[in-house]
Amino acid sequence: MNDNNKDLEKIVVDDTVYMTKLTPKFAERKAYAPRDPKKIYAVIPGVILDITVNKGQRVKQDQSILVFEAMKMRNTIKAPFDGTIKSVKKSKGERVAKGELLLEFE
């Protein structure tokens, strides 16, 4: 690269290489880390209406594990895969904030 391109970063999108200057906010961002699929988090604030599983219980994929109410809508949270419940972090009637851990699989 010549001196005019020294501040440029290489970005690859769909196998196409682009040279671009990064904003300070973008350059200092936290690296993306995928969430652990064994942990179930609240995606929006709400209230736990019912928990249908217990610690140590085996569950099948798509089995109801809890009922969550947010914005006056009831949402049934289902097991993403077959597994065993490692821990239940919340209880029935408890308010939860966005991003709070609800339960974990082994």
Domains parsed from the chain with CATH numbers: 39-105 (2.40.50.100)
Please give the C-alpha separations between residue 72 and each of 29, 48, 99, 101, in angstroms, as whole numbers: 34, 12, 19, 21
Specify the higher pLDDT residue, 106 or 26. 106
Please check whether residue 67 is in contact with residue 74, taking contact to mean a CB–CB distance below 8 angstroms. yes
Helices (H) and strands (E) in the chain, counts: 1, 10
Task: State residue 82's pLDDT score.
Answer: 97
Q: Which DSSP state fits 7?
A: T
Task: State residue 3's pLDDT score.
Answer: 52
Q: How far apart are CA 55 and CA 96, in angstroms?
A: 19
pLDDT band at 2 (very low <50, low <70, confident <90, very high): very low
Convert the pLDDT of each residue in 30-80 to its tens digit.
888 888 999 999 999 999 999 999 999 999 999 999 999 999 999 999 999
Mean of pLDDT over the chain? 91
Task: State residue 7's pLDDT score.
Answer: 78
Instruction: Quote the tokens at residue 36.
Output: 């652990």
Q: How far apart are CA 32 and CA 13, in angstroms?
A: 16
Q: Burial level of 68, CB count in 10 A (0-12/13-18/19+)?
A: buried
Instruction: Quote the tokens at residue 84.
Output: 């065993």
Q: Taking 80 as the threshold, does the pLDDT of residue 5 lie above it?
A: no
pLDDT band at 1 (very low <50, low <70, confident <90, very high): very low
Task: State residue 31's pLDDT score.
Answer: 84
